[in-house]
Amino acid sequence: GGEGVDELAELRLRWIGHSLRAEISIVVDPTLDLRSAHALSHEVEHELLHRVPRLHAAIVHAEPGTGPGVHDDLQHHR
């Protein structure tokens, strides 16, 4: 799983009780259609749940790899 992921943009792991929850952003090929990007996100989620001990939930966000400046309009919020 995860073939087609160009980059891991962000990763957050949190303990909730005795289990982990993950939130990750992956960078994918910008030419992928929405259905393919969504399927890839589910593949990554599935792999994480099987490979990371005590991980019980994962939210995977796919974003297109369009190069520098793609999120410039959000920078003043960070």
CATH number, residue 31: 3.30.70.1350
CA distance 76 to 47: 34
Q: Tokens representing 11?
A: 């990763």
CA distance 73 to 76: 7
CA distance 38 to 60: 9
Residue type, 38: H
| pLDDT higher than threshold 80 for residue 78 | no
Q: What is the pLDDT of residue 3?
A: 81
59, 22 in Cβ contact below 8 A? yes
Domain that holds residue 25: 5-77
> In total, how many domains does the chain have?
1
Over residues 17-75, the pLDDT tens digits come to 999 999 999 999 999 999 999 999 999 999 999 999 999 999 999 999 876 555 566 66
CA 43 to chain CA mean position, Å:
10
When comparing pLDDT for 49 and 2, which is higher? 49
